[in-house]
Amino acid sequence: MSRPPPLFNHTHDQLAEMLANCAGKPFTYDGNGTVSLHFDMSTVQSRMRPDQPDQLVLGYTRTMMGSLLLNPQPQHITQIGLGGGSLAKYCHRYLPDAVIDVAEINPDIIALRDEFAIPPDSARFRVHCDDGARFIAAQANRIDLLFVDGFDADGQAPSLCTQRFYDDCQQALTADGLLVINLSGMDPHIAHYLDRLGRSFGNEVVVIRSEDCTNKIAFAAKGPALQRAEAELLARAWQLEQQHPLKLRNIAHRLAASRRHGYFLTDEPGDDIHAE
């Protein structure tokens, strides 16, 4: 979920009719060369360019793929929240050796998978219609990379922000596993979520701002992944940029700065909200 500038060109009456017909269900919008997924007019859940369905259009998804700096070759990737499948499609294309599982609770979202060119289920890619919290609780030491991007019409899914859920995420990861969470910067409870996350992961948590919106991206490591030196992250970023269309050196700088200065809800040196 993101809050980039809207692309809508409809009249007020057309938009009102669209919302009335959707009645709280997800809907798609085609415009300006993209297809986007929405629950309402104020936020964009996902966005895709039909001619490049594997491209990461929204900045927060590109920031989440900074996980490659910490684990460049995850073997088992799990995602909570399908949306338009941006992260799952990217991983399916650029990490061909990885097995990918996606848990999505809303069957109406899954029903739109063909509109977003999400790959069919296969031996290495599967979409499960299941509650994300329940799905993670059933895993144990299996997941190398866990993405949590679970939003519904009301915002951040409450079951994906509890202490129990973060504890279950920690238990679901392999010894060097990594959890990456998309958090709405507009959520007034974000500090509580991050406090819980720190308790689950022994404060092995780094938070940076999304590339193009107010969202915050939290990285939590079960092992020592976040302790890598900035020089090592930058060297890895340069190497990975030869294979991935991502600005990973920028993300490497921001990860290192957040860890070094203890930024809590922001990666901007001029702001005054810090970790305690």
H helices, E strands: number in the chain = 9, 12
**3-state class (DSSP) for residue 14:** helix
Q: Is the pLDDT of residue 12 over 70?
A: no
Q: Is the pLDDT of residue 271 over 80?
A: no
| pLDDT attached to residue 88 | 97
Of 149, 152, 168, 267, which residue is the catalytic one? 149
**Residue 175: what are its φ and ψ, rounded to 5°?**
-55, -35
| pLDDT attached to residue 21 | 55
Among 14-18, 142-146, 191-195, 237-241, the range scoring the smallest mean pLDDT is: 14-18
Mean pLDDT confidence for 54-62: 93
| pLDDT attached to residue 44 | 78
Is residue 149 annotated as a catalytic residue, yes or no? yes
- Tokens at 23, concatenated: 């009645």
Residue 220 is which amino acid? A
What integer best gives the mean pLDDT of the chain? 87
| pLDDT attached to residue 126 | 98
Give the Cα-Cα-Cα angle 233, 236, 241 (nearest 5 degrees).
Answer: 120
| pLDDT attached to residue 133 | 97
| pLDDT attached to residue 163 | 98
| pLDDT attached to residue 30 | 82
Supply the DSSP string of 160-186, one letter for each residue. Answer: GSSHHHHHHHHHHEEEEEEEEEEE-TT
Q: What is the pLDDT of residues 249-266, one digit of tens each?
A: 999 999 999 998 876 554
Q: What is the pLDDT of residues 75-113, one digit of tens each?
A: 999 999 998 899 999 999 999 999 999 999 999 999 999
Which pLDDT band holds residue 48 (cuts at 50, 70, 90)? Answer: confident
Q: What is the pLDDT of residues 103-147, one digit of tens each?
A: 999 999 999 999 989 999 999 999 999 999 999 999 999 999 999
Inter-residue contact 123 to 87 (CB < 8 Å): no
Q: Is the pLDDT of residue 2 over 80?
A: no
Give the whole-number percent of the chain exceeding pLDDT 90.
66
